[in-house]
Amino acid sequence: MRLVIAEKPSVAKAIANVIGASKHNDGYLSGDGYAVSWCFGHLAELAQAESYDKKYGQWRYEDLPIVPEVWQYVVSEDKRKQFETLKKLMHDENVTEVINACDAGREGELIFRTVYNIAGCTKPMKRLWISSMEDTAIRDGFNNLRPGSEYDNLYNAAICRSKADWLVGINATRLFSVLYHRTLNVGRVVSPTLAMIVQREAEIKAFKSEPFYKVSLDFGTFKAESDRFSDEAEVAAVAERCNNQEAVVISAESKEKSEKPPALYDLTTLQRDANRTLGYTAQQTLDYLQSLYEKKLCTYPRTDSKFLTEDMSGTLAEIVGISAKVIDAAIPQSINTDRVCDNKKVSDHHAVILTKSAANTDISSLIAGEREILKLIAKRTLCAVSDPYRYTETTAVITCSGTEFIAKGKTTVDLGWKAYVKTDETDNTLPELTENEPLTVNYISVTEGKTTPPKHYTEDTILSAMEKAGAQDIPKEAERKGLGTPATRAGIIEKLVSVGFITRKKGQKTVSLIPDGIGTSLITILPEELQSPLLTAEWEQQLLLIEKGELAPDDFMKAIKDMVDNLIRNYKVIDGADVLFPSGRPVVGKCPRCGSDVTESKKGYFCERNNCRFALWKDNRFLTNKRVSLTKKMAQTLLKDGRTYVSDIFSEKTGKKYDAFIVMTDDGDKTTFSLDFNKGQ
């Protein structure tokens, strides 16, 4: 029997239907020589720091950097039953080989291999690599299974990415949280993304709007406009000089121009369009697209390619026809396959398009979000294979009393791909004008405008910025650029919102991403390397080298560990940064080291001064072993008198309880506790 492991239950069921595994069991399906089971996404993940040592339950500067010698994994309780099912199946003597049917990409490889490895499986491994959930694609995939070893480098890149993110995330988050007494989530993608949003907000606040003026000449059938003037008196003088004067045509030139059709959708471009036109968040679009994929109505969603492979050109016309049916539109007169089919521009997965199954689906039965995303994909497919939009543009240069004015006209020759999109393109045809032709000015007007600040980021524009971030610093031959991947960008935005670093602010037409105060403060104190897109760009290129077998994983990980170690050893708290993170917490006493206020937070009592590391932890090991809870009143007494009287202290040796003074000693670097049984003191 062959064991097939998919990433999700819905995908497993789709595969099982094709290969004949129709019997339902607890946690898997079976039949026709197959057992088909599934993960729930990441079934097992890297363990948290405290799993390596209980002392990491407290966030202390002295314990950094945290670098595991042997990496540990944990399976959450809600997924343990399914993990045990997979483990049992892998060790079943009837199972001869295991087929990795998780999503065809870096993360899918990581999900499968993690379970395979921690389950202690050593059976032969094969890889199913498909970009569509249609029956024919699944059958073709099973007919062309590859040895799992061919994807070892892909897994190496995936596990390196996972461990590196853990090292930077855990250590940097703890470092800055401890130093600034506030939970500050830091990451190699999340921090540069936040930095871009903070920088944009700073540009908007620093922007000073300035007025400008233009003179417009009305000739009855068309208008001509001057360049901008910054001085109101100057523009008034120009208008006065032109009053009752004749204008003359200096030149009039017409050119036929064209706009190429947009490319097919990759995930990021689809998310951008869905945000701009439908108001969907990036995560919503990904969720709708994933559901459509699992319903066999579109191809693999997490793609960074906008092209199809050349062997798909034969079926493209059928997909175009299905797309036209979905949006009730005419099929393009000519289908330009060469424009969308290019093997050199397809890496793991091709562009997002509809599948043949969409032809037999009642689109109205889909939920609204899925239906609208399906229509967007259909529309983009029709646009991509259509002819260019062609038009004639006429530019006339006209002079009046020594000032030049410009008139422009536009006439559509062929709508081409724009026949499928709503557009504000309108013909504005100029009359036929000849050189030196005199013109009578019917009316002169002066218009006033103001320079506008940069716009706040929306999910549309931040996705574009993430995609392009650091691109100028990456060699041209690099396959992947920017912050994150198409599969992770939506999650990064959601994380920034959930931790309170940014907020969504709804306007009349768009939803803007605005940095919160703590997000701005975090970027203020972060070193450049952690807020620059260069770090993640460099990582991504190195991970690609690992995928190609051109860089050893150990060399990559050594560089990451060195970077983290240097950060911990060399970072200095910014002077005067106390005002960036005001706690607003009640004061419980004065710090024995520096005299600043000590305030209460969820985990303990901490000095408000950022470069002072004094802390009284509520779960201090000395106290918890004695079953003593450090209350606010006890902390106040300790800070005032250096000791506090406590009843019912548990004895670890005898199991009995006793009363005593708990004495605090602080040497300026470390805080320790001891017991004093002398009630007279």
Name the pairing type of β-strands 671-676 and 23-25. Answer: unpaired
Q: In Å, how far are 99, 389, 420, 426, 671 from 423, measured between CA atoms?
A: 48, 12, 9, 8, 68
Is 261 within 8 Å of 339 (Cβ atoms)? yes
CA angle, corner 517, sides to 515 and 518, nearest 5? Answer: 100
Name the pairing type of β-strands 28-31 and 34-38. Answer: antiparallel
The one-letter amino acid code at 35 reads A
- Among 300, 389, 391, 457, which one carries the catalytic annotation? 300
The one-letter amino acid code at 118 reads I
Please confirm, yes or no, whether 420 is among the known catalytic residues. Answer: no
Q: How many CB atoms lie within 10 A of CB 667?
A: 9
The 10 Å CB-count burial string (b at 16+, else e) for 99-127 is bbbbbbbbbbbbbbbbbbebbebeeebbb
For residue 481, which of 493, 489, 473 has the smallest C-alpha distance? 473
Using CB atoms within 10 A of its CB, is residue 169 exposed (0-12), middle (13-18) or buried (19+)?
A: middle
Question: What is the distance between the alpha carbons of residues 128 and 137, in angstroms, rounded to a whole number?
Answer: 11
Question: What is the distance between the alpha carbons of residues 298 and 289, in angstroms, rounded to a whole number?
Answer: 8
Across-strand partners of 341?
Answer: 308
For residue 64, which of 184, 162, 191, 170 has the smallest C-alpha distance? 170
What residues act catalytically?
300
